[in-house]
Structure 1
Amino acid sequence: MEDLKLKLSALPTEPGCYLMKDRHGIVIYVGKAKNLRNRVKSYFSGAHDEKTMRLVAEITDFDFIVTSSEVESLLLELNLIKKHYPRYNILLKDDKSYPFIKITKEEHPRLIVTRTVKPKTGTYFGPYPNAYSAHETKKLLDRIYPLRKCNTMPDKLCLYYHIGQCLGPCVYGVTQAQYKEMIDGITRFLNGDTKQIVGELKEKMQKASEDLEFEKAKEYRDLIGHIDATMDKQKMMSKDMTARDCFGFSMSKGWMAISVLLVRNGNLIEKKAEMFPIQDDVQEEFYRYIAQFYDLKSNLLPKEVHITGGLDREIIDDYLPVDVVQPKRGQKKEMVELANKNAEIALKNKFEIIEKDEARTIGAIESLGGILNIETPIRIEAFDNSNIQGVDPVSVMVSFIDGKPSKKDYRKYKIRTVEGPDDYASMAEAVRRRYTRVLKEHLPLPDLIIVDGGIGHMNTVKSVLMDELSLDIPVAGLAKNEKHKTAELLYGDAAEIVPMKKNSQEFYLLQRIQDEVHRFAISFHRNTRSKTSVTSVLDGIEGVGPRRKQKLLSHFGSIRRMKEKDVGSFTEIGIPAPIAERILEKLRS
């Protein structure tokens, strides 16, 4: 703490970014500031909410980078967050981009849904933040406008032609005038003008009814109903066709919700809300969200961004290459107020779920740390073995961070040095291999290791950690009852039972960890056993190498089905008759 105070006193007063680190040297939070000294000092003085206190309790060091302006610090902060993925930062931007409906620029155009925008290859409509809506709209247009559906032109008519959703350009000539008429209709529809389409469908429905073609008349009626249903979802209209995004926010109990209303072609096409804990000034969190919301390389940014009053419009305006507006009256102001209301509703509806989730994760690990008298075990790693009478022995490790499984950190170990059913030696090998690599690659160490077993397993793991690797990490064991369910937590040199309520969140967390590591071990062992059993059956047959094994299994599907076939079934796929006879003889013996 003295080192921290010294670094705090030497901080500059310029704008910039700061990186908070935990005891493992891992960046856990990235922020920006107008005045680095004042902002970073504020974490270590005064009162904070529970979430900020939890962050501060983990900080053991920090770094900083000075920038020439606040806008530059915002850009730097985004890059640092993407680089380090800190636990206490919430990345609000999806890896996926929004989908668009595209009319391709081809001799025989197609209507497709795509997330990749290449402006010179066609006309785009959207974006559609709801991918389901984009695909449903395309399906409706496919039924009205029979454009080509095939990626590559076939040499014969396909099903789409026979159900009336394609004009069959692969066989019949389709003029550019016909395509233009369909493309104009699709364009009008996607721009919100459906009156002409509905009118044409009503005429066709009336004519089909007069011709006693009631099934066709019903189809036209259903299409009109689908169009009405689609347009009913877009009743929020604006007076102009300007593409704009309207941002609103709400705060409560240390949390912030930001709602975005996306208006395209005069229609409200989507409402989206995100919620996250506040780690910084409210306005800073809002600016950061907007900056992360957009991909500046895209040529599909809105023309305007509307925000509520009381915010510094110029900060956003300097960053975004679009007009930033704070509407004062009329429908535009109502849209921003609606965005604020959506954010407020999002907070209200999700608070109960958030509180329950925190109790079963963060609250559980804090309670567990208190019970064991250790630091809060943010990272827990658990080990389990699996084998059948020593055959194909495996070990696995699962990782829980902040009380939740971190599957990217799971590890599998095929036991190499143990012969026979020796559970202790198998676990020792897995632990040795795991933490030798952790030390070699400077990976984060766990705060608690849990083994599926009793004092023997615990002592085995401690021996590897202390005697071989010189690591002092708390080790606990989980004992099961006669029903093979989590029963007791064991801890200490004598593996004493730790008193714990069976209905507590920390006990439920231990159950989840033990169930998960057991599931992972069993699954890995089954996969390993199935591979080795298949290999052993076909192994040693003269003329059957790896490629031929793969060919046999791909064709027949299983050893059982292979065994039921005759020599002719093998020769049909290019297996010589003598080799087929040897295979069948081996399998049937």
Structure 2
Amino acid sequence: MNKEENFKRLEYLKGIVQTLPEKPGTYQYYDEEHTIIYVGKAKNLKNRVSSYFHKEVDRFKTKVLVSKIHDITYTVVNSEEDALLIENQLIKQYQPKYNVLLKDGKTYPSICVTNEYFPRIFNTRNINKRYGTFFGPYSHISSMYAILDIIKKVYKPRTCRFPITKEGIEQNKYKPCLEYHLKNCGAPCIGKQSYEDYQQNINQAKQILKGNTREVQRILRAQMEKCAEELRFEEAEAYKQRYIALENFAAKSEIVSYTINDVDVFTIVNDEFRKNAFINYIHVTNGAINQSFTFEYKRKLDESDAELLNEAIPDIRQRFNSKAKEIIVPFELDFKIKDAEFFIPQRGDKKHLLELSEMNAKQYKFDRLKQAEKLNPEQKQTRLMKELQEALKLPKLPYQIECFDNSNISGTDAVAGCVVYKAMKPSKKDYRKYNIKTVVGPDDYTSMQEVVRRRYSRMIEEKESLPDLIITDGGKGQMEVVREVIEDELHLNIPIAGLAKDNRHRTNELLYGFPPQTIGIKTNSELFKILTNIQDEVHRYAISFHRNKRSKHQLHSELDDIKGIGTKSREALLKQFKSVKKIKEADIQSLTEVLGNAKATLLFNYFHSTEG
């Protein structure tokens, strides 16, 4: 590889790194033949992956690895623990060249519920489904033991390894062990605990292992209340203790479960502005995610989501040679696949997998969008304008937006400001300041009407282009007074929106229409942040103008009103006499020393004739 090719390779990789999300997940490095050569996990994907490409990296092995990387993919998850589980699975499956492999074949432990007459519950690293049902694996050993402890405390399953049978119990073959005397076991082996009661406990324990603690708590609460009604207070107290113990219980990892095996997951996320769609594919084998990819599909004939999935699912399954008999999808599809069934989950681990797949598709869409907007900043501005146009149902793109704000203190030095944004960027050369001329006292509504009237009357007269949208720094009241001028007086058709604040003086909603209605835009969205930036800018602009005017007003003195006494003369007088009062008290000789005869006579006669 020559220097030019290596430069292009690094620039391509750095472009990927810059758009990585700051979320937990796994990342995969590929060589020139697109073979996975390294799998890693991260609490923050962007920070971790970018660390490989820092110039100050001095580890030889890291430099060798980076020199071999030709592509990067990643999978977003909800927690670092989940990333650890997926990393473990991928390393075992692909055995990447630069990963430390687990030569001894050890894996994370799981919890087994055996298929015996009286099932046992214990942790193990050996998975053999003939012996029972397995839950896990657990990357945090402490979490696994916490689950086992809560099950032992609440349900007291047997710990002995005797092959207990119904016939053996009837023939009195067994004797109670120490665990029974320590009250850690109900001794089903000697009939002290019925088969039905034991099985009920095991079923509830399985629900806990699945993460369904709420349902178990509901059952325990109902049993507790029933016992209390029947005055069986000791039994009610036992159920109460179980109920309380479950409240403090931390559930298992959300990602992996041995109840899910050989499953495909598909979700679709739309890009409304480019008419594209992003389809994410996740494959689960032996209860663990081992593949996660997102593909971009271009709509050619305005295909629906269902029609796109109809085309994409067979194509992606063929590409990955998937023979999974269960396919999880977000909605019903009208086609069938041979030897496979579609499933739309409503809850549980499979629902979580669907949500995880959608999260990865949205993240991929976001990353592609950011990457494109970085290369072409105008694309971002156009997108935001289209979002605003769609939210307000505007007749055309809001290229020019104008926003007004008043500023005064008890009606004094009243001013207003108008800021202009073009293509979602401030156009400072078009900003305008206004001194309020016709309003006396603190009347914001009338002041706003004066400014809006002056602004657009002049624009009509000078035949300037009118704005595509007016935003008021206020709620329904401000919108209405602006509308009265724009529509009723000037007969203009300019859309008017308002940004209203909550009782903590924080902008919390966008208003539009007549009468004004709240527009559903998330307050943490990029568009809403731009709108609040416009509001903050007009507020800053009006306040700055008001402060400057007030400062000049406060600095005004009687000397400013005397014709013939200029700026230099005033400065010289104040430097010598320190105040206007002392200038008034000065005699003609002292004034002459500072100003000369002519100006001193003028100043002396002004003060003394005024006083007289």
TM-based fold match above 0.5: no
Q: Which has the larger radius of gyration?
A: 2
TM-score normalised by L of structure 2 = 0.34
- Length-normalised TM-score, structure 1: 0.35
